[in-house]
């Protein structure tokens, strides 16, 4: 398990420029250890001394801003870390959910590729800007009036219990959730565009004789792999092989269908409304490139993770940017 001191240091370092992290890591750990030793010498238990020393240092995000020399004048240093955490949470969790729901509704209402993409981009911009604006506005009011929870000590009074739990050898739950939800959405969209709409389907219905059921099975296996990996809680060569196989069994047929013009329904002509016949060609090429690059990246990423754990090399801590530890 990652120690409380490690968690504090990782949390602070993730917001410090990479070139400063080595020096600040050593300086911060030495400062914490000195404070802990002083408390232990005065009679405190070590665990109590560690917690007390970290409370005395305060919010690691605010400490990181001090190390980096950032001035947070719009909202103020008391409120800025809480504003940043809340806005990050909204943009990383609520915004994707809103966009996904919008895409699904658009697919159900009118599965036009242009409208789906345009609606997703519009939702990202509109909802993201609204979230940023209103969140900032609320904190500015709290800062100016002094009536916020920081003054009352309700929810923004930092304690060591608020530190993230950085576990280098475990699989982040967010990756698992995304890896399970995304295949479910793809399967739902694949089935709905064929049987749930009173219009020409976007994808070639002839593939229901084999390829679409095959892709559904591949998506289910991909979701099952995420659950299996989460329960396994580590990366190794077995995981690398299984991941490569499950990636390729879905990516290779998909690329083949796209490259041989067996992916889209020949009777679906709405691509012409987007600007001519070349739109379909370039859209197909773009999708092939994204699938190939994404598959290659995922396979290489998992292989590298497995080799790092097998050889005991430093690995990235989820949520800490580029900071590595052993």
pLDDT digits (tens, 9 = 90+) for 8-45: 888 888 777 777 778 888 888 888 888 889 888 888 88
Is 296's pLDDT higher than 70? yes
pLDDT for residue 78: 65
What is the per-residue pLDDT for 166?
A: 58
CB 179 within 8 A of CB 223: yes
CA distances from 285 to 14, 259, 268, 280 (A): 37, 8, 18, 9
Which carries the bigger pLDDT value, residue 240 or residue 100?
240
DSSP-based three-state secondary structure for 324? strand
3-state SS assignment for residue 16: coil
pLDDT given at position 293: 92
Q: What is the pLDDT of residue 75?
A: 66
Contact predicate 201/267, CB 8 Å: no
Q: pLDDT tens for residues 109-153?
A: 666 666 777 777 887 888 888 888 888 887 777 765 655 544 443
User: Torsions phi, psi of 264, nearest 5?
Assistant: -90, 150
What is the Cα–Cα distance from 207 to 19, expressed in whole angstroms?
53
First to last CA, the chain: 13
d(CA 23, CA 172): 28
Whole-prediction pTM? 0.51
**Res 319: pLDDT:** 43
The full DSSP string for 189-244 is HHHHHHHS-SS--SB-GGGGGTHHHHHHHHHHHHHHHHHHHHHH-S--HHHHHHHH
Residue 62 pLDDT > 70, yes or no?
yes
Q: Which pLDDT score is estimated for 112?
A: 67
DSSP class of residue 320 equals: S
Q: pLDDT tens across 170-226, in order?
A: 566 667 777 888 888 888 878 877 776 556 777 888 999 999 999 999 999 999 998
pLDDT of residue 324: 43
Task: Round the average pLDDT of the chain to a whole number and report it.
Answer: 76
Find, among 216, 192, 210, the residue nearest to 262 by Cα.
210
Contact 183, 219 (CB under 8 A): yes
The whole-angstrom distance between residue 119's C-alpha and the CA centroid of its chain comes to 21
Angle between helices 237-259 and 211-232 (to 10 degrees): 160
Return the pLDDT at 300. 92
């Amino acid at each position: 398990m990652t120690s409380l001191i490690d968690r504090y240091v990782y949390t602070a370092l993730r917001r410090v420029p990479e070139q400063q992290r080595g020096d600040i890591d050593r300086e911060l750990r030495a400062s914490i250890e000195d404070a802990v030793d002083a408390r232990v010498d005065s009679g405190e238990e070590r665990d109590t001394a560690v917690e007390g020393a970290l409370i005395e240092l305060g919010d690691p995000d605010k400490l990181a801003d001090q190390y980096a020399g950032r001035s947070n004048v719009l909202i103020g240093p008391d409120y800025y870390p809480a504003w940043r955490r809340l806005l990050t949470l909204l943009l990383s969790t609520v915004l994707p959910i809103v966009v996904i729901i919008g895409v699904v509704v658009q697919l159900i209402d009118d599965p036009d590729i242009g409208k789906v993409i345009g609606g997703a981009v519009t939702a990202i911009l509109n909802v993201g800007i609204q979230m940023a604006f209103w969140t900032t506005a609320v904190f500015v009011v709290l800062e100016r009036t002094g009536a916020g929870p920081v003054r009352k000590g309700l929810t923004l009074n930092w304690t060591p219990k608020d530190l993230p739990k950085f576990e280098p050898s475990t699989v982040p739950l967010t990756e698992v959730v995304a890896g399970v939800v995304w295949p479910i959405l793809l399967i739902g969209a694949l089935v709905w565009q064929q049987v749930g709409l009173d219009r020409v389907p976007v994808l070639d219905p002839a593939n229901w004789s084999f390829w679409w059921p095959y892709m559904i099975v591949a998506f289910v296996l991909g979701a099952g792999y995420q659950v299996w990996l989460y329960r396994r809680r580590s990366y190794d060569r077995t995981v690398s092989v299984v991941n490569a196989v499950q990636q390729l069994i879905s990516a290779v047929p998909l690329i083949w269908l796209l490259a041989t013009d067996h992916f889209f329904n020949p009777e679906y002509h709405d691509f012409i409304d987007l600007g001519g016949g070349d739109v379909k060609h370039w859209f197909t090429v773009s999708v092939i490139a994204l699938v190939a690059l994404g598959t290659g990246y995922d396979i290489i990423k998992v292989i590298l993770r497995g080799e790092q754990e097998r050889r005991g090399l430093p690995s990235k801590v989820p949520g800490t940017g580029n900071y590595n530890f052993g």
